Amino acid sequence: MDQPPSFLQAEDGARLAYRHTPGDDPGILFCPGFHSDMQGDKALALEAWCREGGRQFTRFDYFGHGESDGAAEKGRIGRWAADTVHVLDEVTRGKQVIVGSSMGGWLMLLATLARPERVCGLVGIASAPDFSRSMTAMLRQAGHWEALQRQGYCDMPSHYPGESTYRIESAFLEEAGQHCLLDGPVPIDIPVRLLHGQADSDVPWQRSIELAEQLVSDDVEVLLVKDGDHRLSRPDDLCRLLRTVDKLLADIDGQESLLVPPGD
């Protein structure tokens, strides 16, 4: 049974919920996606694997998500990036590998740029840096742009269970533009692994290729899953994620991988 969360207070007094498993470092810090939380299959699979191996692991909820304070529609990319850095600073210890899913793949990049000395590797799952730009195009195509301009917000239907709609504010899109990264080189020079499903209907797999091209690091690998969807949370997807993280940690530690390679 999941234990109650701990809480970290942000500068404005809002409480950020987190769960931390002590252990060896490099640790793993998991960043969930937009309107997601730390209770997802990927976060829980990583936590169980880290606990079994005695490795440090941290998962958390951004402002307005999950068990943290606030309303998601009042959150901003800069706010959520600051939440990530705050957890990195106050909860984790030593070097960290950040694993980011969807929007979490954007926030892991921003957190790494803010704290390059603390991050030794990145794993992106359907990474969505600069997704606010594609969201703007989608709103225009879907006929929501006029309502957004008139009201300052619009409600978008969600195709995920448990959420009928989610609200997008024009202020969110404007603020997000200040944090876009892919217009030029991304000055991150550490090992990066990017997983992406080619059947992803939310974030095109080409986004991971674009990100790989813009990262200054030469140690970047992209793994495409032909039938993979956006979440990449099927049992085979979770095994693939654990193998990827395990191999990256082995490369960083200079040790042998703990998991049996596929096909052996």
- pLDDT(163) > 70: no
Catalytic residue, from 68, 101, 102, 127: name it: 102
> CA–CA separation, 6 vs 15, rounded Å?
9
Q: Is the entire prediction scored with pTM above 0.75?
A: yes
Check if 196 is active-site: no
Specify whether 36 is located in the same domain as 161: no
Specify whether 56 is located in the same domain as 120: yes
Specify whether 160 is located in the same domain as 192: no
Q: Tens digit of pLDDT for each residue in 31-55?
A: 999 999 999 999 999 999 999 999 9
pLDDT at 157: 76
Can you give the residue range of the structural domain that contains 236?
Answer: 6-129+187-252
Q: Is residue 158 part of a domain?
A: yes
Specify whether 143 is located in the same domain as 199: no
Task: Give percent of the chain with pLDDT exceeding 90.
Answer: 80
Check if 144 is active-site: no
Q: Is residue 168 part of a domain?
A: yes
Specify whether 245 is located in the same domain as 152: no
Catalytic residue, from 83, 200, 202, 237: name it: 200
Helices 41-53, 235-253: inter-axial angle, 10-degree rounding: 40
Check if 102 is active-site: yes
Chain mean pLDDT for the chain: 93
| DSSP state letter for 218 | S
- Across the range 226-236, mean pLDDT stands at 97
Specify whether 85 is located in the same domain as 150: no
SS (H, E, C) 104-161: HHHHHHHHHHHCCCCEEEEEEECCCCCHHHHHHHHHHHCCCHHHHHHHCEEEEECCCC
pLDDT at 170: 92
Specify whether 50 is located in the same domain as 98: yes
- Across the range 239-249, mean pLDDT stands at 97
Catalytic residue, from 179, 196, 230, 237: name it: 230
- pLDDT(161) > 70: no
**CATH assignment of the domain containing 233:** 3.40.50.1820
Specify whether 26 is located in the same domain as 125: yes
pLDDT at 133: 93
Specify whether 22 is located in the same domain as 125: yes
Tokens of 154: 């619009």
CA diameter of the chain: 59
- pLDDT(258) > 60: no
Q: Is residue 260 part of a domain?
A: no
Specify whether 13 is located in the same domain as 87: yes
Q: Tens digit of pLDDT for each residue in 106-155?
A: 999 999 999 999 999 999 999 999 999 998 888 888 777 888 889 998 88
- pLDDT(257) > 70: no
Specify whether 60 is located in the same domain as 116: yes
For 176-215, b/e burial (b = at least 16 CB within 10 A) is beebebbeeebebebbbbbbbbeebebbebebbeebbebb
Q: Is residue 98 part of a domain?
A: yes
> CA–CA separation, 225 vs 238, rounded Å?
12
Specify whether 100 is located in the same domain as 146: no
Can you say how many angstroms the Cα of residue 78 is from the centroid of all Cα atoms in its chain? 14
pLDDT at 160: 64
Q: How many domains does the chain have?
A: 2
Q: Is residue 264 part of a domain?
A: no
Q: Is residue 214 part of a domain?
A: yes
For residue 1, name the pLDDT band (cuts at 50, 70, 90). Answer: low
pLDDT at 26: 96
- pLDDT(180) > 80: yes
- pLDDT(57) > 80: yes
